[in-house]
Amino acid sequence: MFPRSFEYVAPADLAEAAEALASAEFAKVMSGGMSLIPMMKLRLLSPDLVVDIGKIRGLDQIEDRGDAIAIGALVRHAQTAASDAVPAALRTAAAWTGDTQVRNRGTTVGSVAHADIAADQPAAVLALGATMVARSASGTREIPADEFFVDALTTALEPGEILAEIRIPKAGGGSAYEKLGRRGGHTDYAVAGAAAWVQRSNGSISDCRVALTGVGTKPTLAEGVAEALIGTDGSASAVEAAAARATEGVTLLEDLYGSEEYKAHLAKVMTARALTQAIANA
């Protein structure tokens, strides 16, 4: 199927891109196009204007900013997966995104902005406590990951805003990502997935964040898990008890890949696995 007719611009910089977005009634930003183009061809989206930021220089870098790692809007999944500067949870999530062609064309920031309910990298950036940096014609806005994911395919980005980069705090600790893919392996959307970050101090877990994907309408923090694990010794029994609370406060979504009960079971299993690996990495 072909998309409806639309205008297309390829700005030279972010300022020009923001101006183009502001000038249209309904515009969409394209970086890798791995999500936008299929949705346009199916006519699930029909923007008046497509703003292609793919030619803007300097957005394809992963930078160490001292207190954070900054991932630019044009950093490909494959780059994120291969970077030693990126925490393990996000490296793994990027490595398990799509197939080789998708990983070499699609972007980490684009995946996060798209906010698919079963995508890998949104859960990882949520668990890692990332900050989203949005650019528009009126300036720059920073959005905490906790506030960024609103609903299915819906984020806190306002019309006219471009997600220019993601900043991952260099908080130490260890992280990991685990999932069951829809075809049984890793390189497919998640039936259920969990990203975990933990920090140890004086032999106990001093901080923890766990985010789920694939089981609800958006990437969601499993706050009950953190509450149960912080202050423990991080033993197998402590992890098991914490993982049992994985779906507290999570609106579970039944779909073609599993019932609510099955998704809840998988969420607990993946949470336990991610926590175990994150603790080992810490």
pLDDT digits over 6-38, tens only?
Answer: 999 999 999 999 999 999 999 999 999 999 999
Domain 174-281 in CATH 3.30.390.50: yes
Per-residue pLDDT at 166: 98
Domain 62-169: give its CATH architecture: 2-Layer Sandwich (3.30)
Q: Is the pLDDT of residue 278 over 90?
A: yes
Average pLDDT rounded to a whole number, residues 87-98? 97
Average pLDDT rounded to a whole number, residues 253-275? 97
Strand partners, 155: 149
Average pLDDT rounded to a whole number, residues 155-178? 97
Q: Is the pLDDT of residue 238 over 80?
A: yes
Share of the chain above pLDDT 70, in %: 100
Per-residue pLDDT at 90: 98
Domain 7-52: give its CATH architecture: 2-Layer Sandwich (3.30)
Q: What's the rounded Cα separation, in Å, for the pair 31 and 106? A: 8
Per-residue pLDDT at 183: 85
Per-residue pLDDT at 187: 80
Q: Is the pLDDT of residue 186 over 90?
A: no
Average of per-residue pLDDT values in the chain? 96
Band of residue 265 on the pLDDT scale cut at 50, 70, 90:
very high
HEC per residue, the chain:
CCCCCCEEECCCCHHHHHHHHHHCCCEEEECCCCCHHHHHHCCCCCCCEEEECCCCCCCCCEEECCCEEEEECCCEHHHHHHCCCCCHHHHHHHHCCCCHHHHHHCEHHHHHHHCCCCCCHHHHHHHCCCEEEEEECCEEEEEEHHHHEEECCEECCCCCCEEEEEEEECCCCEEEEEEEECCCCCCCCEEEEEEEEEEEECCEEEEEEEEEECCECCCEECHHHHHHHCCCCCCHHHHHHHHCCCCCCCCECCECCECHHHHHHHHHHHHHHHHHHHHHHC
HEC per residue, 176-224:
EEEEEECCCCCCCCEEEEEEEEEEEECCEEEEEEEEEECCECCCEECHH
Domain boundaries, the chain: 7-52, 62-169, 174-281
Is-contact 282 200, C-beta < 8 A?
Answer: yes
Per-residue pLDDT at 143: 98
Per-residue pLDDT at 147: 98
203-231 tens-digit pLDDT: 999 999 999 999 999 999 999 999 999 99
Q: Is the pLDDT of residue 1 over 80?
A: no
Q: Is the pLDDT of residue 184 over 90?
A: no
63-74 tens-digit pLDDT: 999 999 999 999
Per-residue pLDDT at 242: 98
